[in-house]
Structure 1
Amino acid sequence: MRLLIADDDDYTRLGIMESMDWTPLGITEIKEARDGAEALRIAEDFHPDIVLTDIRMPKLNGIEFAEKLAVCSSESKLLFMSGYMDVDYLKSAIKLSAVDYIEKPIRLTDLEAAIKKTVAFIHTKNRHQSMMNQNMALQRQKLAGMLKSKSMNVKEVISICKETDFPADSTYMCIVLSQGTDEEVQDSWIAFINDYWSSYHIPSLGTVVENNKYLSILSVKKHDRKRILYVIDLLLKKNEGWILGVGKEALHLETVAESFQTALRALESSFYHPNLQMFGLEQRKNAPQGLGVELYSEFYSLLKNEPTQLAAWVDMICKQFCEFEYPRKERVCELFISFAQAILHEKSSLLNKMNHIFNTNDLEMYIHKCRSIFAIKNFMQQLLTLYVEELEDLSQYSRVIRDVMSYITSNCSHVDLDVREIAESVHLSTAHLGMLFKNETGVTIKQYIGDYRLELAKKLISNEHYKINMISELCGYASASYFTKVFRAATNLTPVEYRKMIMK
């Protein structure tokens, strides 16, 4: 805490400062003044928690100083000291809410007791104020949550508006903000946003939406939309990467929920315009309703018959979506997840060639996390490139050998996968199939299975969420110890050592 000592007697001031051990009392910074006027100047910048002041001083006496102090540093707590036990002074001290009054000559025990009393008083008041502030914040969050709900209780809302001093008869505007990431909204960010609106004297409420977005409900004067948009523009210029949706004005409390929905919908436009920061629901072209089954049929037809044309087709439909800003993000994600799953169904071995994607769940999560249609398009183009390259690599082999490779890819997790089982799947004898496979690939089926399992294991090891036991099972090894033995023989490293090496 900060302490200001004001006394015109140098000996008294210095004696107080040097005779006390202030640290155990919680005092971390001390300043001194020779008269009331100097004390007032210091207090205006210093904002002391405690002021220990003499009553009789030149320029401004202690009472006059304390009256002016109440204006510039209202939270400062007063301790008066004087050798004059004057009744009028005592009455003035009481009116100024002095915590205590110390008689001169000062005894250190009395001073220490007074300081302790004042520190305890401040701590108690701060705790009480903190609880009041927390309760007020919770009430304001509750109010924001009720206002964004379409089924709110109007009487209860108006009651909480009065409790929290939020205008109940105003015009309102909803703002939904995002930092442009999937990270959860932090308390520090919430405090920053709320303080920002307050700095422009804009009454506001706020609550977290969908974990990574923040809703601000602003109370605005009629025809004040331009000023609000200017204030928002300043906010975004200072914070690159933030995006924000502006809802339509709500003329009364009952329509705030509609403003919130339009703000959310406006924010979704960032999916089609990743380089912009602020979005409203401007007039759009009439978008076609629904996604016809023809898109699915066109895709599957090209996948089977003309896979080299798929990249251009994906680019074309993305341009169509951007033209109308339709469909909404979730629908686009579902569409491309279906397409990507179909590609992996045809060639599941592609998973081994995709960074950070280990299964179809990862695939879905990745596409849902894409912040723009362009990110999804780029991912699909990369996947299609891998798919076409895979087809070209396999084109050198006969249909039987391609079927064998596909069967191994789909069943490599089976510990007992062997040549006999594979030969039965293609209706050939083991000897004949073994000869065909060696002639076309240059390796035996057993060697191919071993190499495939090893490359799959390397891919899975790169994901630290996969434990070694799980990797050995997914790759078809009989046990973790056998997997470790095979892996070390091939790489001169154990799986754990390999993971540490690639994670550096």
Structure 2
Amino acid sequence: MKLLIVDDENRTRELLRNYVPWDAIGIDEVETARNGLHALELASERKPDIILCDIRMPKLNGIEFARQYRNIDPRCPVIFLSGFSDKEYLKSAIHLKAFTYIEKPVNLDEVREAVESAIAQRREEVKRREDERQLQAGFDRSLPFLRQEMVRKLVAHPEAPNVVPALRSRDTFLLPLEGPYTVAVAALYWSPADLPEEPAVTHERILESICRHPKLTSRMLLAGFDSRNHLVVVLPGDYRSSYRDGRETIEEISSELRAIAGDKIELRLGIGEAAPSLSAIPAAYRLASHASAYQYYGNGAHPVFANALGEHFAIEPNWEEVRLMRDQLRRGEIAEARRTVERWTVYARERMDLDISRLKDTYFQFLVAIMETAVQLGAAELSEDTERRYMWKEIDRIPSLDALERYVLEFMEAMTGPSGDDEGAGTGKMREIVRYVHAHFHEKGFTIREIADHVQFSETYLCAYFKKQNKQTLKEYITDTRMNRAKELLRDANVKLFEVAIRIGISDANYFTTFFKRNAGCTPSEYRERAVK
């Protein structure tokens, strides 16, 4: 800790500085000042933990110095020294909440005891503030999740017995107990190539930013992600589609949410009809979800209000259309197969199904049929890289009906060759894939997913495209690349076997032996013996 001694008498300053064993009681630095003005400059710069200060000094007395320094550090303990029994000075010291008061001539033991007590107080104060800081930091970290849980309660079970008591804590949950309320729902879409972090990390970042955003918190709104990973916002008030009824506020909130999400995330905001009470929030939430889904069929640049929803009907897979497309592909009638998918898109747009997962499932069936046909024709290999769960994960990230159609048609291009690209463009893309493999195959955790993200292909399309262009699966090519590098390293007798394994991206030496023998027909040691000879 740091101590500042302020006294206009040089002898007193030196006595206090040199004849008290400060280090024994926890004082690491001792500074002295010759008057209050000098002390104010020094204390402002050095920020002492404790101050020993004479009262009667020229230029600026101790009381006035302490009064001014209180504006800089109101918690610093001040121990006053004075040879005058002046009641007015004592009153001023008490008013300034002086730690204690020592009369001159000073007793060094008394000074030491006073400073020791001040140190204990200072340490206790520092510990208390640190505990408060950690408590507040913990609360700040948990606040977005507390609010998210409240949002989930409100959109599903607002009559739950703990909802109303919790909402009485306005500092935490912001919303008033009385309606009306407006509910907004936003579907969020982004590419893992742009945001490789886990979705939960992105969600946490967005919620924390909303909690810290002064404009949004001033609206007293709550935000959280529902079970479908849609962002849900509940705010007090009745906001409708006309500017007279508050549309401008919704536009502002939409703009702030888009800024928080960032330019790599597409945000489709839908607004439900106003809920007059807490119990009506689930119905408003469902309408807001439909309004958000409505944007899948068009432009999602602006919020859509529930009153803009037209007729919409459920859509189910048409197995006859799927079989027709499969037969067309088998016969090599690629243009006809494309038209079958495009015709389905026209039909899907007419139905305007607001259950987007159900809509995507119909395209998923086309996609499965394309992949099965590609395997039968030898244009793709159904492996762990092209299993259905990966295909579904990829289409789940697609933000619009038009993009969904394009995605499915990509697989036909993978089977038949690029329909619109010239040969040079295809060759350039293959060079990019090959370069990436050679640059990263040795890295721990290297996957086909990384290559797909790098070249901005879907994982399944990448595998089919590579097989079509190279007459070899991508997995086989990566294996060959690793094997070629391993054989090259094994020819150098100074490179240990485990080093060879690590340098081709395999951390387990036993697995390396199995991998090498499976692909080369002999163990690494046997290969080395032959190569060295």
Normalising by the residue count of structure 1, what TM-score does the alignment of the two structures yield?
Answer: 0.60
Does the C-alpha gap of structure 1 residues 456 and 194 become closer, same or farther in structure 2, counting only changes over 3 Å? closer
The alpha carbon displacement at 1:384 in A equals: 1.8
Equivalent pair of 1:352/1:456 in contact (CA under 8 Å) = no
Partners of 2:350 and 2:179 in 1: CA distance = 37
Partners of 1:315 and 1:6 in 2: CA distance = 86
The alpha carbon displacement at 1:382 in A equals: 1.8
Which amino acid counterpart does residue 218 of structure 1 have in structure 2? L
Partners of 1:251 and 1:310 in 2: CA distance = 51
Equivalent pair of 1:247/1:261 in contact (CA under 8 Å) = no
Pick from 153, 169, 175: which aligns with 1:163?
169
Which position in structure 2 is the counterpart of 1:315? Answer: 342
Does the C-alpha gap of structure 1 residues 16 and 462 become closer, same or farther in structure 2, counting only changes over 3 Å? farther
Alignment of 1:117 with 2:121, yes or no, is: yes
Which position in structure 2 is the counterpart of 1:207? Answer: 224
For residues 319-398 of structure 1, what are the structure 2 equivalents within 5 Å? 319-322=346-349, 325-348=352-375, 352=380, 357-388=385-416
Alignment of 1:61 with 2:60, yes or no, is: no
Which position in structure 2 is the counterpart of 1:196? Answer: 213
Partners of 1:272 and 1:10 in 2: CA distance = 85
The alpha carbon displacement at 1:337 in A equals: 1.4
Partners of 2:156 and 2:69 in 1: CA distance = 50
Equivalent pair of 1:55/1:61 in contact (CA under 8 Å) = no
Equivalent pair of 2:321/2:340 in contact (CA under 8 Å) = no
What SS does structure 1 have at the residue aligned with 2:338? helix
Partners of 1:275 and 1:141 in 2: CA distance = 24
Which position in structure 2 is the counterpart of 1:247? Answer: 271
Partners of 1:15 and 1:218 in 2: CA distance = 66
The alpha carbon displacement at 1:314 in A equals: 1.7
1:92-128 Cα shifts (integer Å, max 9, x gaps): 245xxx7x44758795785476345324323323424
The alpha carbon displacement at 1:50 in A equals: 6.5
The alpha carbon displacement at 1:335 in A equals: 0.8
Equivalent pair of 1:37/1:59 in contact (CA under 8 Å) = no
The alpha carbon displacement at 1:458 in A equals: 0.8
Partners of 2:17 and 2:188 in 1: CA distance = 49
Partners of 2:326 and 2:54 in 1: CA distance = 92
Which position in structure 1 is the counterpart of 2:301? Answer: 276
Does the C-alpha gap of structure 1 residues 368 and 236 become closer, same or farther in structure 2, counting only changes over 3 Å? closer
Which amino acid counterpart does residue 121 of structure 2 have in structure 1? K
Alignment of 1:257 with 2:266, yes or no, is: no
Which amino acid counterpart does residue 263 of structure 2 have in structure 1? E
Does the C-alpha gap of structure 1 residues 52 and 205 become closer, same or farther in structure 2, counting only changes over 3 Å? farther
Equivalent pair of 1:204/1:216 in contact (CA under 8 Å) = yes
Partners of 1:142 and 1:14 in 2: CA distance = 63
Does the C-alpha gap of structure 1 residues 120 and 351 become closer, same or farther in structure 2, counting only changes over 3 Å? farther
Normalising by the residue count of structure 2, what TM-score does the alignment of the two structures yield?
Answer: 0.57
Alignment of 1:143 with 2:143, yes or no, is: no
What SS does structure 2 have at the residue aligned with 1:207? strand
Pick from 212, 236, 240: which aligns with 2:258?
236
1:222-277 Cα shifts (integer Å, max 9, x gaps): 86553353243245357323415243333322223333334444333453347626
Alignment of 1:267 with 2:292, yes or no, is: yes
Does the C-alpha gap of structure 1 residues 178 and 286 become closer, same or farther in structure 2, counting only changes over 3 Å? closer
Pick from 173, 184, 200: which aligns with 1:184?
200
1:69-108 Cα shifts (integer Å, max 9, x gaps): 4xxx8x95242232258553454245xxx7x447587957
Which amino acid counterpart does residue 484 of structure 1 have in structure 2? N
Which position in structure 1 is the counterpart of 2:182? Answer: 173
The alpha carbon displacement at 1:334 in A equals: 0.9
Which position in structure 2 is the counterpart of 1:301? Answer: 324
Which amino acid counterpart does residue 125 of structure 1 have in structure 2? R
Equivalent pair of 1:175/1:244 in contact (CA under 8 Å) = no
Which amino acid counterpart does residue 245 of structure 1 have in structure 2? L
The alpha carbon displacement at 1:338 in A equals: 1.1
For residues 89-108 of structure 1, what are the structure 2 equivalents within 5 Å? 89=92, 91-94=94-97, 100-101=99-100, 103=102
The alpha carbon displacement at 1:354 in A equals: 9.6
Partners of 2:28 and 2:307 in 1: CA distance = 58
Percent identical? 11
Equivalent pair of 1:351/1:359 in contact (CA under 8 Å) = no
Partners of 1:176 and 1:15 in 2: CA distance = 72
Partners of 1:76 and 1:322 in 2: CA distance = 68
Alignment of 1:80 with 2:78, yes or no, is: yes
The alpha carbon displacement at 1:196 in A equals: 0.9
What SS does structure 1 have at the residue aligned with 2:79? strand
Partners of 1:313 and 1:76 in 2: CA distance = 77
Equivalent pair of 2:210/2:216 in contact (CA under 8 Å) = no
Does the C-alpha gap of structure 1 residues 142 and 363 become closer, same or farther in structure 2, counting only changes over 3 Å? closer
Equivalent pair of 2:22/2:28 in contact (CA under 8 Å) = no
Which position in structure 2 is the counterpart of 1:226? Answer: 248
What SS does structure 1 have at the residue aligned with 2:386? coil
Equivalent pair of 1:356/1:463 in contact (CA under 8 Å) = no
The alpha carbon displacement at 1:279 in A equals: 4.4
Equivalent pair of 2:316/2:362 in contact (CA under 8 Å) = no
- Structure 2 segments unaligned to the other structure (5+ residues): 30-34, 191-197, 240-244, 419-469, 483-504, 507-513, 529-533
How much is the aligned-residue C-alpha RMSD, in angstroms? 5.4
- Structure 1 segments unaligned to the other structure (5+ residues): 28-32, 391-450, 469-478, 494-504
Partners of 1:15 and 1:328 in 2: CA distance = 84
Partners of 1:190 and 1:13 in 2: CA distance = 56
Equivalent pair of 2:187/2:293 in contact (CA under 8 Å) = no
What SS does structure 1 have at the residue aligned with 2:200? coil
Partners of 1:132 and 1:38 in 2: CA distance = 32
Equivalent pair of 2:185/2:232 in contact (CA under 8 Å) = yes
The alpha carbon displacement at 1:216 in A equals: 3.6
What SS does structure 2 have at the residue aligned with 1:148? helix
Does the C-alpha gap of structure 1 residues 157 and 237 become closer, same or farther in structure 2, counting only changes over 3 Å? closer
Equivalent pair of 1:36/1:59 in contact (CA under 8 Å) = no
What SS does structure 2 have at the residue aligned with 1:347? helix
What SS does structure 2 have at the residue aligned with 1:250? coil
